[in-house]
Structure 1
């Protein structure tokens, strides 16, 4: 397995370079707050404590900095039981008038098998390193596969085409924040120790699908034996021991940290967080595009990253709070 292979590694810098107007977007949601009974009130409280983070498994990607495994301590916190949905993000946009970075740039990355034939014919640019990602004009959270698509039948699916900075704006509105990588992994493990997945070490116990990932030959044929070619509802499959859904697969989830391959050697054991700017933000959990033969980053200790202004059709987020 080649360590650089990653289904999600389509960044905005691979097509063009532009500065994101982060400060302007932050100001756009100032003064607007989520209504009572919203995302903040639905968070799951976790006690924190010590757990073994990371992995020394040869199945991992050393270049990603998945190890060395170590004991870390996490303070009590709260986290969303599932990724932010299209419905929840639409409420945020309706309340604030927020415009995502995909809309500002005018395009986002759409996986080639999900775009319509009409959309594919209009595509003029693809990143050479990951040609299964199409640069689709007019693709954004409410038009996930381009102008001829919509979300009315997917309101309970995770919102996608959101950049790290879009996620931050949602957090400001909802009174939440993004989880740190350590909080995310603690939550994802659901109380289990040294396991590969949120439910154990077998990907399909008794032949049962436990998450939404790729089946077939990536990137040309997805058999969808788990029930989905693209995203699944945020509460699909069984929750982990903490009652959290889809901590593996479905969509990548942004974390608060800047990304560093030296994370486990550079951060403290007490509430670790990597805060030194590196140009890339951390993502966790894998997505519906991950496949063992190419990018098995749906494991609990797996890590990835992207530039904070990038958006793709397989990346979303969940929120946390102190």
Structure 2
């Protein structure tokens, strides 16, 4: 884990890059104590150690299905899977879970160093309790993602490409059908693939969405009123409330989801799982 020093940090943004309903601003300064954060999202290998030690079954395994993006599915699989209403590129796929990210005919044997996916927030809470860690608040996540900079978009600066190169794993091409894989991946990348930020944090932007401890889209000033431990104590229950997610994923594209910026906010229900949802822990 990486230690983030005590200090005064700015979170949020006053720009209009995002969506009004996400409540990304106004920007404010917060005095925050030091904390530890995982240098990467939890990998398949790390989650396997937990699952093997505890015989834990994720909610996707218990339900027998999870959400998979259409790009990875054969026409045969699509025919026997349920299309998600009003989101024509997501399918509820029987047998999809963290061990089988694209369904029962896939596995993670060559992806042990990739982020674990198909983990609900409830699964992430269970892992944290076992590991004696917790989920970060959005405030902690944003402070760590900035790497000590004042950047509001990306850890490396305000432009997506730096030195003509990609520094995160998102969608390139015509979303949602054509991915040119200009960044090298059409699926998850290894958790340590791109260079870390100045704190040593790998890939807070892109790759997989990361669960947080607090409810989604609360006012940013709530992080001045309550400390991180309070959020964890109040919201580590197993439920289906709507909780914050951060960082975007390999399926984010400028034309649809501009939430792969540091200041961007999003949320999902606690029992949701998909092949682009993961997490990292703090202490």
- Normalised to the residue count of structure 1, the TM-score between the two structures is 0.83
Contact 2:100-2:108 within 8 A present in 1 as well: yes
Post-superposition Cα deviations, 1:66-117, rounded to whole Å, max 9, x if no partner, equal: 1111001211110000000001101111100000000111110001111234
Which of the residues 283, 293, 297 maps onto 2:259?
297
Change in CA separation of 1:94 and 1:278 when aligned onto 2, cut-off 3 Å: closer
Change in CA separation of 1:69 and 1:177 when aligned onto 2, cut-off 3 Å: same
Post-superposition Cα deviations, 1:33-57, rounded to whole Å, max 9, x if no partner, equal: xxxxxxxxxx111113111100111
| Unpaired stretches in structure 2, ≥5 consecutive residues | none
Contact 2:13-2:152 within 8 A present in 1 as well: no
What is the count of residue pairs matched by the alignment? 277
Contact 1:72-1:270 within 8 A present in 2 as well: no
Q: How much does 1:118 deviate?
A: 3.5
Matching of residues 177-256 of structure 1 within 5 Å: 177-256=134-213
CA RMSD of superposed structures (Å): 1.7
**Distance in 2 (alpha carbons) for counterparts of 1:156 and 1:131:** 30
Contact 2:43-2:191 within 8 A present in 1 as well: yes
Q: Does 2:123 align with 1:161?
A: no
Contact 1:72-1:269 within 8 A present in 2 as well: no
Matching of residues 60-139 of structure 1 within 5 Å: 60-123=18-81, 125-139=82-96
**Distance in 2 (alpha carbons) for counterparts of 1:240 and 1:290:** 20
**Distance in 1 (alpha carbons) for counterparts of 2:186 and 2:3:** 32
Q: Does 2:267 align with 1:311?
A: no
Corresponding residue number in structure 1 for 2:248: 286
Q: How much does 1:235 deviate?
A: 0.4
**Distance in 2 (alpha carbons) for counterparts of 1:144 and 1:270:** 36
- Normalised to the residue count of structure 2, the TM-score between the two structures is 0.94
Structure 1 range deviating more: 139-148 or 191-200: 191-200
